[in-house]
Structure 1
Amino acid sequence: MNMKNDQIQTLNYCAHAIEDLRETAAMLQRAMPQSANVLYRLIAMLQSSVKFILPNCCNLVEPDEVRQAHIDLMRLPFPCVAFEAPWDKGQEGPEYIGEFKQSVMTKRIALCWDARQFEPMPGLNSLLDAFKDGGVFVLPIYWGPEHKKWTVALGGAFVPYGSELDRVDLDTALPATKIANAAKIAAGHAHAKSMQFRSEPFPILPEFYENAIATYGSRDKADAQILVDAHDEVMVLIQACSVINCANVTTSDIDAPIVLNKKREASGKQPFFSYKVLELAEERKAHGGNGAGGHHASPRMHLRRGHLRQLERKVVWVRPAMINAESPRGVVYKDYSVVPPRSE
């Protein structure tokens, strides 16, 4: 996300992903028809999703500061949301978490949907039989310099509502979770005292999933690969929702470019979409309007890192940093009230 002269440039990841996924689905139609049909359903979800622009690596909350309050605030603002974020960590090549290869993926979409609203793969919502309160499905869609094409992950993670943050316990964890956590600990991405919350892996591309099972020699290892791959996008969900549900945070709209979209449509390309960005309510009020105006204008300051704090019966957002290198205002530190999660 580029920020210059008080403007946020739209990423347009979803539009480009839709174009690539259409090509992939067409190629798979004969050899892997089930996966092709799922891709077409995911394309429709990407088109209808409400799209948010997030900072690099969704740098909103310190990783070690994720607490139960963040988990409790995990409620999507819309039934289907696409969180877009650049992912530049300065990594030059792939890394391995245990036996699971992690290629460099510099552009990310976390496609998140309410479990009761959509079912891109037939039978997927049977997972709800074990979670009566529902939850959120999170699916990674990514682009990397190695293949230079948008790709859907082998699967994603279902995060049930009411999850409890607890210590990692490899002795009692389910097989796939145990394999994934052991791999992350061995690679230094977690430790024995790390906190975790409940998430269940789900496959999304049937034929690719069966191939992965054959490659790894077990369904548990294929599911562990899915959990490792979906970790970043699950954290995007948790961080973004915890900030969106702050009382002092609102959204500003960036309209789709009308003239450019007419040219794209005329050439058979996917039109670009409108976007939402997060801003502090006080900053929005100070500058008037929503900062959109159809010209890609945006809030002058963009939320970056902060953390939540529980104070008696309310949650507060502590030390949100509003970042803009060209602003003379610099960084602002305050405590703000946060709307507590509703009790169902």
Structure 2
Amino acid sequence: MQEKPNDHVQALNYCAHAIEDLRETESMFRSLAPKSAVALHRIIDMLQSSVKFILPNCCNLIDPAEMRQAHLDLVRLPFPCVAFEAPWDKEEDGPEHIGDFKQTPATKRIALCWEALPEFEILPGLNSEVLNAFSEGGVFILPIYWGPEQKKWTVTMGGSFIPYGGEIRDLAMDQQLPATRIANAAKIEAGQANQKGKEFRAEPFYVLPEFFEEAVSVYGDREKAYAQIILDCHDETMVLIQACSVINCANVTTAEVAAPAALNKKRREKGKQPFFSYKVLQLTEDRKSSGLSGAKGQHSSPRMHLRRGHLRRLENKTVWVRPAMINAESKSGVVLKDYAVSKS
């Protein structure tokens, strides 16, 4: 097996750097796009208050081919507002376009996720509009990303809402809403999906009004603008599902990676955004039984690491099998491990 560059990662601190960049963008938007500036200010507040999780490269927690109803059933946020951070280092670059839709490279990702509560409403009326359609509630997902083209943190013009109680079903193009049908047709044409695949309900929404209307003008079609949002949010939607699949298993808990007090003092003195504390995932059974968890012997692992795993449904609970954050309290740092099998 072969290790990837992001196997050895300290706290990512993406949110702190994103907040600094987005404050500059907000200032620029105040005269150019005042409605978007107000929304961006709210997004910054939510980033500040969110509970932050470190995830492995590309959130490689489960095999995409193994995605099934059990994973969707576990989509419940552990806190009302969560920021999932993950590096996004792929061996091959993604396509520049999917059909008519441009794809922007992004090597660092934040999936900002929140419940439809009054204190988390980016645009007036967004929560009530969604809850009128989905009274059982659900989770909003907004991608925030950094890439080599813009070299700064950017918010996409919109995100996706995943309603609770959704079902994974066979892809049925003739039964889809227009924006979803347009997005899926583009993915199939580009070889990013196939007609025998699976789907689940995900509703697009916009958060930057002026930029959404500009996209409508460019495409000449509101549904195409929503299709762009669906495509832009695909990876972060999968981040939410994978992360919740682990977090909500009976044998998974979290450990805290504290914010660096001395470094934050210096950052405050320089007027910079302080770094945040983070939560990381650990498998409780491994910590009790595995020789890797704090063992002193030759094969002990001094740093925390993650291993890909799968769900197992027992009689009265669902458990996660074999991924683990080992040695969460270690002073040697964090290892976010994802394995790739070498081709011979």
**Coarse TM-score class (shorter-chain normalised):** 0.7 to 0.9
Q: 1:279 matched to which residue of 2? A: 282
Cα distance in 2 for partners of 1:212, 1:66 equals 32
1:150-165 to structure 2, matched below 5 A, reads 150-165=153-168
Q: 1:263 matched to which residue of 2? A: 266
Cα distance in 2 for partners of 1:278, 1:314 equals 18
Cα distance in 1 for partners of 2:326, 2:51 equals 24
Q: Is the 8 A contact 1:2 1:9 kept in 2?
A: no
Among candidates 119, 122, 127, match of residue 120 of structure 1: 122
Q: Which runs of 5+ in 2 are unaligned?
A: 295-300, 328-336, 339-344
Between Structure 1 and Structure 2, how many residues are aligned? Answer: 319
Cα distance in 2 for partners of 1:287, 1:311 equals 22
2:109 maps to 1:108: yes
Cα distance in 2 for partners of 1:203, 1:174 equals 17
2:35 maps to 1:27: no
- Give the secondary-structure state (helix, strand or coil) at the position aligned to 2:122: coil
Q: 2:169 matched to which residue of 1? A: 166
Cα distance in 2 for partners of 1:175, 1:88 equals 32
Task: Give the C-alpha shift of residue 284 in structure 1.
Answer: 3.5
Cα distance in 2 for partners of 1:261, 1:41 equals 24
Cα distance in 2 for partners of 1:320, 1:14 equals 25
**Which deviates more, 117-126 or 27-36?**
117-126
Task: Report the TM-score when normalising by structure 1.
Answer: 0.86
Cα distance in 1 for partners of 2:315, 2:172 equals 29
Q: 1:181 matched to which residue of 2? A: 184
Q: 2:320 matched to which residue of 1? A: 317
1:87 to 1:22, Cα distance in 2 relative to 1, 3 A: same
Counterpart residue type for residue 22 of structure 1: R
- Give the secondary-structure state (helix, strand or coil) at the position aligned to 1:171: helix
Among candidates 256, 259, 269, match of residue 253 of structure 1: 256
Among candidates 135, 138, 143, match of residue 141 of structure 2: 138
2:241 maps to 1:238: yes
Cα distance in 1 for partners of 2:7, 2:194 equals 36
Counterpart residue type for residue 124 of structure 2: P
Cα distance in 1 for partners of 2:116, 2:306 equals 28
Cα distance in 1 for partners of 2:71, 2:238 equals 10
| Root mean square deviation of aligned Cα | 2.7
Q: Is the 8 A contact 1:21 1:151 kept in 2?
A: yes
Moved over 6 A (4+): 321-324
Q: 1:85 matched to which residue of 2? A: 86
Identity fraction in percent:
68
Q: Is the 8 A contact 1:283 1:301 kept in 2?
A: no
Q: Is the 8 A contact 1:256 1:274 kept in 2?
A: yes
Q: Which runs of 5+ in 1 are unaligned?
A: 292-297, 325-329, 332-344
Cα distance in 1 for partners of 2:322, 2:99 equals 36
Identify the structure with bigger relative contact order (alpha carbons < 8 Å, sequence gap 6+). 2
Cα distance in 2 for partners of 1:177, 1:158 equals 13
1:321 to 1:272, Cα distance in 2 relative to 1, 3 A: closer
Cα distance in 1 for partners of 2:168, 2:117 equals 24
Deviation string 1:119-140 (CA, Å, 9 cap, x unpaired) is 0111211211010000000000
